Amino acid sequence: MTPPTIEADGLRLRPFRLADIADVAASCADPLVQRYLDSLPSPYTEADARHWVTTGAPAAFTAGGAAYAVADRATDRLLGAVGLSHPVPQRGQAEIGYWIASWARGRGVATAATRALSEHAFATGTARLELLAHVENAASQRVALAAGFRPEGVRRSAGRSADGSRRDLTVWVRLADDPPGPSPRPLPDLPGGRLTDGVVILRRLAPSDGDEMYRLHTDPEVVASRVPPEPPTRDEVDRRGRGAESQWLVGTVATMTILDAASGAVAGGCALVHDQPGGQAMLGYSLLPQWRGRGYATRSVRLLARWGFDQVGLARLWAGTLPENGPSQRVLEKAGFRREGLLRGRLLGRAGSRADSTVFGLLPGDLAP
């Protein structure tokens, strides 16, 4: 039986045709598609595309899934693909996936195609759809959010890259009775991509910040305030940079790089950690040695706190310091934080020891101008 054609938002989801072979070959040889679709042959040839069109895609329908060509409704030219795989009939569950041709990106094609196939799947009996994306594939996770999927966690080493190494996959899920429209974002994007007071700039941590972040987090003074007080490896720093946007999108941590507005040089880093329910978050910060003593930490804390209250909708921020860390405590107090108490033995110290933590809190009305 011929699979039904699905039309929505200017797109046509239809079976693949022989006329699609050249476009399939060009799309699946694209470096971005190759990077995130682990199962694709490399190099990808027209022979591979022909096998997919004539054998692979029809077999997906036979196995209880789907493999649709995403085409422009006006011209019928191929724009990408969307499909269902790994069906689990007893659970009413399937996995949804997609790729988009380079000439169709930036037009909302992936989101529209994912929505259309999701609605078709729910209308025909599916109860739960999973969308898996590599942790560093933030674009795919943005599609998941826009298509109404919600984050459920990370499957460790669930993906395998072409070189045989394993990669973590983020899990996004949509249920048949979830409300329509995009999923809510606990941590919105920064307005215009940054926060600034004219002296410092805060922007999202990027993979390209690796050198400066490694220098920052291995600085002796910064290491002394880490929990536990041990320096990270370079691999840990790089993985944090690659996964920063994913953590932002799922709503757990907004990690930012602090820049000097005049020169654009990296001055340090800061983060807002959505660690408690009820509109609360933790704030942290650190600076490279050459930028200390200029008020940059205080400025960064004020910018981050104002964004947290006004854009994230937080009701309370808190921060903790070692009791002997006077400079960090002065930064917090200048920004309006109030000392709230001492938590004895809260922090993990060196060699299994415990350290006290001085706790500061900030409410919206406390924030200093």
Domain 6-175 has CATH 3.40.630.30: yes
- Separation between Cα atoms, residue 214 and residue 255, nearest integer Å: 15
Distance of CA 220 to the CA centre of its chain: 30
pLDDT of 369: 75
Closest CA relative to residue 196, chosen from 294, 309, 300: 300
pLDDT band at 286 (very low <50, low <70, confident <90, very high): very high
> 311: burial class by Cβ within 10 Å (0-12, 13-18, 19+)?
middle
What is the 3-class SS of 17-46, one letter each residue?
A: CHHHHHHHHHHHCCHHHHHHCCCCCCCCCH
Return the axis-axis angle of helices 234-250 and 210-217, rounded to nearest 10°.
110
Closest CA relative to residue 334, chosen from 366, 306, 312: 366
Between 226 and 78, the higher pLDDT residue = 78
Tokens standing for residue 51: 């096998």
Whether the pLDDT of residue 199 is over 90: the answer is yes
User: Which single residue is written with the structure tokens 């101008």?
Assistant: 369
Residues of the chain with CATH 3.40.630.30: 6-175, 191-366
Give the global pTM: 0.92
257 within 8 A of 240, measured Cβ to Cβ: no
Tokens standing for residue 167: 């990669």
Q: What is the CATH number of domain 191-366?
A: 3.40.630.30
Whether the pLDDT of residue 329 is over 80: the answer is yes
Between 349 and 146, the higher pLDDT residue = 146
What pairing do the DSSP bridges indicate for beta strands 316-321 and 280-287? parallel
Whether the pLDDT of residue 80 is over 90: the answer is yes
Q: What count of Cα atoms within 13 Å lies in the side-chain half-sphere of residue 268?
A: 24
- Count of C-beta atoms within a 10 Å radius of residue 44: 20
pLDDT digits (tens, 9 = 90+) for 8-65: 989 999 999 999 999 999 999 999 999 998 889 989 999 999 999 999 999 999 999 9
DSSP string, 168-206: EEEEEEEETTSPSSPPP-SSPPPGGG-EE-SSEEEEE--
| Helices and strands in the chain, H and E counts | 11, 16
User: Which single residue is written with the structure tokens 């997919």?
Assistant: 52
- Separation between Cα atoms, residue 23 and residue 171, nearest integer Å: 29
- Separation between Cα atoms, residue 88 and residue 342, nearest integer Å: 52
Whether the pLDDT of residue 109 is over 90: the answer is yes
What pairing do the DSSP bridges indicate for beta strands 66-72 and 78-88? antiparallel
Buried-exposed string 62-98: b where 16+ CB fall within 10 A, e elsewhere? eeebbbbbbbeeeeeebbbbbbbeebeeeebebbbbb
Whether the pLDDT of residue 343 is over 90: the answer is yes
User: Which single residue is written with the structure tokens 């000097």?
Assistant: 260
